[in-house]
Amino acid sequence: MKKAISYLKGLLVILWVCSFFLMVPRVSFAVPVYNPATCHWYDVVYGNWNEAETMAVDILGGHLVTINDEAEQLWLVNTFGGYADFWIGLWQPDPAPADEPDKGWEWISGEPVSYTNWLLNEPNNSPPSEDFAMMNFQNPGKWNDTGPVRGEWTTVTLGIAEYSVPEPATIFLLGFGLIGLGVFRRKLRRS
């Protein structure tokens, strides 16, 4: 009986680990890509702007992408393509008045807004409000503002996440976890 319980515990651990890895493809579109110019990793996440940002934070430990200059914008278009619409991390936490649609934009990462790539006549804050930014609108790399009541909210289903390399402590803990799993499996085989 003891042997059967130990076996079941081991099986549960293996199933738990496998379920984690089965969940990853829903989060990640492709293999993460490293940009040596920014020293950051980039990956594609799914959902509307809020869902994509939540995945970027909770799963990858980053945010939707912050685009700091034309070189990074060009790198993103060359890496992820210029035709699929992507959420980026630009938003208006305090909605701007209709006559000032270009005011109050912030990067979700907290970095200052030093570069923009709006399509001509954007942002326009079409009624009732458009407080979230997307990339590749009508032209590769061009930005558009949109919101939950706009058509793009449901058609844009991908976002680009940006994050740093995991801290050494994270890798250290992962290593210890894998060693522990190996020891546990070895004990199962002996019993």
pLDDT of residue 22: 43
pLDDT of residue 95: 66
In a domain, 39, yes or no: yes
For residue 28, is pLDDT > 90?
no
What type of residue sits at position 134? M
For residue 86, is pLDDT > 90?
yes
pTM of the model: 0.71
pLDDT digits (tens, 9 = 90+) for 98-138: 666 778 899 999 999 999 999 999 998 887 788 999 999 99
Q: How many domains does the chain have?
A: 1
pLDDT of residue 1: 63
Q: Indicate which CATH number applies to the domain containing 110.
A: 3.10.100.10
Q: Distance between CA 94 and CA 103 in Å, rounded?
A: 10
Q: Regarding predicted confidence, which is higher, 188 or 155?
A: 155
pLDDT of residue 103: 80
For residue 78, is pLDDT > 60?
yes
For residue 156, is pLDDT > 50?
yes
In a domain, 10, yes or no: no
pLDDT of residue 143: 97
Whole-number average pLDDT of the chain:
81
Task: Read off the DSSP letter of residue 38.
Answer: T
Q: Distance between CA 9 and CA 1 in Å, rounded?
A: 12
In a domain, 48, yes or no: yes
In a domain, 12, yes or no: no
In a domain, 180, yes or no: no
Distances (CA, A) of 135 to 77, 117, 126: 9, 9, 17
Q: Distance between CA 79 and CA 109 in Å, rounded?
A: 21
In a domain, 2, yes or no: no
Scan for tokens 């290593």, then name that residue. 175
In a domain, 163, yes or no: yes
In a domain, 16, yes or no: no
Q: Distance between CA 191 and CA 188 in Å, rounded?
A: 5
Percent of the residues in the chain that have a pLDDT greater than 90, as a whole number:
53
Q: Distance between CA 23 and CA 140 in Å, rounded?
A: 31
| Domain span holding position 126 | 28-167
For residue 178, is pLDDT > 80?
no
